[in-house]
Amino acid sequence: MDRERTEPAPDDLVPADAFSLLGHDRRVDILRALLEASRTGDEYPASFSTLREQVGAEVSAQFNYHLGELTGHFVRRTDDGYELRYAGWAVATSILEGTYNRRAAFGPEGIAGRCPHCGAETLVASYREEWLTIECGACDDRLVRYPFPPGGLESRSLPDVLEAFDRRVRSHVALARDGVCPACTGPMAVTVPSLVDGDASTDSDGDDAAPEDDPIATFRCRRCGNRLRPEPGLVLLEHERVVRFAAERGRSLSATPFWELEWCVSGDAASVTATEPWRCTVSIPVGDESLLITVDDEFAVQSATVESAEPDR
Ligand SMILES: [Zn+2]
Ligand SMILES: [Zn+2]
């Protein structure tokens, strides 16, 4: 880390000040132009004159002023020209994602896919307020609801959007399981209920008592408060032990969207079997066998056993 060599004052900007620096279209144009230059690599770092040309600024003094305002926190001036600092890169990328200024919506729209609960042969996707939802019209069950940046809809067909959404949710849950917040990279911790399955319904008068269909695990970021509540099966979907179990049986768990896998979207596959120490067992069926995975209260795998799903065989 070469922290000593970077400009000291701009690092101390509080977020509101940082955003006020972006309160002019020309500055946003500069960040976008720098991001574009960093991607093409044609001239990056970019010289003052090239950058001005790309942004289309007529008046040099005005352009100079806006570039000067960005330099420090968002842009770094080097001997070779101007380049993005991390904050500038993050802002420019977010603008491309459409997080700040684009509103998009679609659906409800029928999509290919089999409901893991009732077996219906078509599902329904909809997108509102940057949340993508997939549900079953037949049994009315919501299979997944998770944020998706509106820019991710651009230049993609609906099936491609759904594939990207599948990857996004999987990777975010895997990050959360590894203790990394997918929103801000801050530390994430998981909390689990202290009750064993079966006790929950008899203890429903307290305010903290979770409804029966609530997911077992809550991952919460200590830094930004981001919260994920995946079913335990989904938490384990990308775990190497699970991936290997499927691969050894000739199956790829990435070939099917996770919302079509019953054990990823239903709490029925998981049960809390002990509280001291806390243990939860998830049953993951592949073909005519099931992998029984037991995890502790941090979702670290404690044991894994294979069981035949057809005891008569
Ligand atoms: Zn259904
Ligand atoms: Zn966070």
pLDDT tens sequence across 225-270: 899 999 999 999 999 999 999 999 999 999 999 999 999 999 999 9
pLDDT tens-place string over residues 90-129: 888 887 776 666 668 898 999 999 999 999 999 999 999 8
Q: How far apart are CA 147 and CA 168, in angstroms?
A: 9
User: How far is the centre of ligand 1, averaged over its atoms, from the C-alpha of 130 (Å)?
Assistant: 24
Query: Which ligand is closest in space to the CA of residue 117?
Result: 1
Q: Is the peptide bond before 108 cis (omega within 30 degrees of 0)?
A: yes
The pTM (predicted TM-score) of the whole model is 0.75
Give distance in angstroms: CA of 237 to centre of ligand 2.
22
Question: So what's the pLDDT on residue 240?
Answer: 94
> Is the pLDDT assigned to residue 12 strictly greater than 70?
no
| pLDDT mean over 2-18 | 52
Residue 118 CA: which ligand is closest?
1
Average per-residue pLDDT in the chain? 86
Domains observed in the chain: 15-97 (1.10.10.10), 158-313 (no CATH)
- Quote the ligand 2 centre to 304 CA distance (angstroms): 31
Give the residue-averaged pLDDT of 78-84. 93
How far apart CA 146 and CA 165 sit, in angstroms, is 9
Neighbours of ion ligand 2 (CB under 5 A): 181, 183-184, 186, 221, 223-224, 226
pLDDT confidence tier of residue 14, bands split at 50, 70 and 90:
low
CA of 232 to the centre of ligand 1 (A): 20
Residue 309, phi then psi, degrees to nearest 5: -85, -10
Predicted pLDDT at 62: 87
Cβ count within 10 A of residue 297: 17
Could you tell me whether strands 301-308 and 227-228 are parallel, antiparallel, or unpaired per DSSP bridges? unpaired
Contact indicator for 127, 105 with CB cutoff of 8 Å: yes
Q: Are 261 and 253 in contact (CB under 8 A)?
A: yes
- Distance from the alpha carbon of residue 117 to the mean position of ligand 2, in angstroms: 32
Residue 259 Cα, ligand 1 centroid: separation in angstroms? 11
Bigger pLDDT: 26 or 303? 303
| pLDDT > 70 fraction of the chain, expressed in percent and rounded | 85
- Which of 213, 219, 173 lies closest to 197 in space, CA to CA? 213
Position 6 pLDDT exceeds 60:
no
Checking if the pLDDT of 275 tops 80, the result is yes
**76 contacts 67 by C-beta, under 8 angstroms:** no
Write the pLDDT tens digit of every residue in 55-73: 887 778 889 999 999 999 8
Give percent of the chain with pLDDT exceeding 90.
62
pLDDT of 13 reads 60
What the block records as the tokens of 93 is 């990328």
Please identify every residue whose CB atom is under 5 Å from ligand 1, which is an ion: 115, 117-118, 120, 136, 138-139
Q: How far is the CA of 112 from the centre of ligand 1 (A)?
A: 13
pLDDT tens-digit series, residues 183-210: 999 999 999 987 666 554 444 444 444 4
CA angle 148, 219, 96 (to 5 degrees): 25
Tokens, residue 45: 């770092």
